[in-house]
Each structure stands twice: as structure tokens, then as C-alpha cells.
Amino acid sequence: MSNTCIGKNSIWLTAGAVLTALLAVILLLSPKVLASDCDILDNKNHSSRRNLPDSAINTDQAPRLTINPDAAEDIPLPFYKLADNTYMLFGNISTLNKQNRGFNANAGFIVTAQGVIVIDTLGTPVLGRRMLSSIHCITDKPIKFLIVTHNHPDHAYGAAAFRDINGITIIAHRGTVDYNRSQTLESSVAYRREILTKDMTGFKPLQADLYIKAEPFEKKRIRLGQEVIDIYNTGKHHSFGDLVIHQVNRNILWVSDLAFNQRTTYLGDGDSAQILKAQDWLLQTFPNARLMVPGHGSAQTSPFPMVAKTRDYVSRMRKTMGQAIDDGISMLDAVQNVEFEDWQAVPLYEMNQRANANFVYREMEKAYFDE
Ligand SMILES: [Zn+2]
């Protein structure tokens, strides 16, 4: 056998290998989602679906989705159409557990002629990857922006699934950098790795391409296709730094955890005075918003009772704890005795009430001594 012959054979072999590799890459890149797996809900009537509310707008019902830990990652999560080209994944109203596996906050996406804008990522890399499959139910257009409203796990830990997407710009609040250096990140990741080991595969702390550093209530504008999106810095009200997103043309606001719907808020690493300030700003700036989409609970139309309700809870907690400090009541006693009877039936009250009281007592005490 001559060397020439071996040479020709190997050229063909190489060409064959290249073709196979190309085919594999094409197959890998093309969305594998089958239309039959897609669960796209309108806002009409799904009474046959006992685990999903009829609508994701102005409803008292809550999703009760159980996430199968063995489900393939290309199986889309169900989602609702909120408006033309605007979609919401409606999370369970619950704390993290082995049933919801981190699907306990909302997320969404907006489809334009030029690509997709994603808002928040759910609570684990696996859910982030399944959310990508949900997006592929609607479009094959590239994902151009991911905006993470704040660093909390239930909104941000799916972001790892988006990090390596070609051409994506990830946008987050500057406070995310502080969060990544904090003990809170370490302990929350350790907790999730313990109870949701497999779901955390591929987890990396959120690294953004663009950090929002604007002054409080200032905005950064992005455009994609027909959409104009304003991203407002609402300060450090609920986390290390929070954003509110305005879809300008449709007048839809993604308010994240500035207002809670269908559940009790969590005041753990934010600033309760800043919540009140930011809520004032929200209602004054957008009195005619068509829809507000919170981080938890259903979307709402005007007059947005979830804002007033969250506000009432926060201001009552500030007043109660402030009064306790004025009266010389110890933190332990103040926290043990704080009961909001009208909130007792609201989900996550039992879980969050004492922790919230504890946080606000310390805040008010600090303000008292700083005066
Ligand atoms: Zn949240």
C-alpha cells in the first residue's frame, strides 16, 4: 500500500469525521423541544388542570407544581402568555422544598423580531435549563439579554444555564458583586446542594456583563426589536440590590420583590425604609401601568392591591418594632409577641413573621442610636 493511498483514505476519513461532527453540532444547537411537550397557557380557563391556576393575572389560585427530579432537562416548564410576545412562568407560592425544587418564584421572557429578553431564571441550574426549553416552545431566536432582578436564589440560581449562550448580555444590579462575596451566598448554595444535589449541577455564582450602578430610581435603557426596556435601580430594598423592569411600549412592569402577591414578604437582607420609598416611587411613576408582574404570586392590574398590602405589612412591622424600642421592650419579647392576625392565613406568614420582626427591630434600633 502506497503512502498516497493511505493519504487519500485518511482525507476521506477526516472529511467524514468533520461532517459527522458538524451534524452533531447542528443537532446539539437546534432546539430539541417537541411541540407536544410544550404547555403554553392563556389566561382563560384551565379548570381541568388541578395543579395550575386558570390565569396568571388577578387570581387567588396558586400553582402546585411538583418538579420531577428525574425529568429530562429539555422538557419545558409550563408558562402563561401575559400579552403579545410576553410570557410568565408562574412559580409555586412556597418556600423551597423537594417538591417544587426551586420553582417557587416567577420568571418571564419577551420575544422580539431580533431575539429574546429573559427576566429572572428560577432557583436552580436545572430549572434554568428547562426554562430555556420553554422559550424554545415559542421561538428559535437567540437570547440576547438576561436581566436578573436581584441576587436571591429563587430568582438568580438558574442563571448558570444562560451564562454560555453565544451573544447574550447578562444584566444585574451591582449589589450582586457584594452578594457573591458574602457568607449568604456560601450558606445558601451549601443548603441547596444538600437538598437538591443534582439540580445544582453546573451552578456558578451569577456573573453579569453589565452591572446597573445608576442612582436610585434612575434607569438604563435597552432596545431589542420592537421592545424598549427601562431597567430601574430601586436600591437595596429587598436584597443586596434590586431592579424594576419596564416594558415601555406595552407598559408592563416587572416589579420583582417590591410587592408580594398571595404571600407574606421576606425582610432579610434589604432595607424596610427603602421598600416604602420605592413603592411610593413605583405608584407615582407608573399610575397607568397595564400590568405589574411580581416575583411571587400572580400578575395584577390597576390599582395593584398587592403594593398596598405589602406596604401595609412593612409599615406596620416598622411601627410595631419602633414602638417596642421606645417602650424599652427587649428584642426577644418584641419578636415573640408580634402577631398580625389578618396575615395569619397568608402563605409564609408562620415562616417569615418572626424573622421579619427580628430584622426590622435591629433596623429600628440602629436608626434610633444613629439619630
Ligand atoms: Zn423572591
The H-assigned helical ranges of 296-370 are 305-326, 331-337, 349-370
Ligand 1: distance of its center to the CA of 287 in Å? 24
Give the Å distance between the CA of 5 and the centre of ligand 1. Answer: 66
Confidence at residue 65, expressed as pLDDT on a 0 to 100 scale: 94
CA of 175 to the centre of ligand 1 (A): 16
- The stretch 175-197 carries a mean pLDDT of 96
Question: Each residue of 301-322: pLDDT tens digit?
Answer: 999 999 999 999 999 999 999 9
Q: Which fold has domain 38-306?
A: Metallo-beta-lactamase; Chain A (3.60.15)
Helix (H) or strand (E) holding 111: strand 107-112
Confidence of residue 13 (pLDDT cuts 50, 70, 90): low
Does residue 2 have a pLDDT over 50? no
- CB under 8 Å to 209, separation ≥6 — which residues? 168, 169, 170, 171
> For residue 47, is pLDDT > 80?
no
> How far apart are the CA of 314 and the centre of ligand 1, in A?
16
Q: Which of 104, 136, 138, 137 is nearest to 121 (CA)?
A: 104
Give 32 Cα–ligand 1 centroid separation in angstroms: 30
Q: What is the pTM of this model?
A: 0.89
pLDDT at 133 over 60: yes
Cis preceding linkage at 78, omega within 30: no
- CA-based torsion, 159, 161, 163, 165: positive or negative: negative
- Respond yes or no on whether the N-terminal peptide bond of residue 216 is cis (omega within 30° of 0): no
CA of 150 to the centre of ligand 1 (A): 8
Residue 13 CA, ligand 1 centroid: distance in Å = 54
CA of 27 relative to ligand 1 center, distance in Å:
36
Contact 218, 233 (CB under 8 A): yes
Which residues on neighbouring strands pair with residue 79, listed in sequence order? 40
Q: How far is the CA of 305 from the centre of ligand 1 (A)?
A: 18
Closest CA to 178 of 200, 155, 150: 150
- Residue 154 Cα, ligand 1 centroid: separation in angstroms? 6
Tell me which residue has cell 431580533.
114
Flag whether pLDDT at 288 surpasses 60. yes
The pairing of beta strand 40-41 with beta strand 79-83: parallel
Domain ranges for the chain: 1-37, 38-306
* Ligand 1 center–CA 296 separation, angstroms: 6
What pLDDT, in 10s, does the model give residues 17-43?
A: 655 555 554 444 445 577 778 888 987
For residue 17, the model assigns a pLDDT of: 61
Q: What is the pLDDT of residue 271?
A: 96
Confidence tier at 200 by pLDDT (50, 70, 90): very high
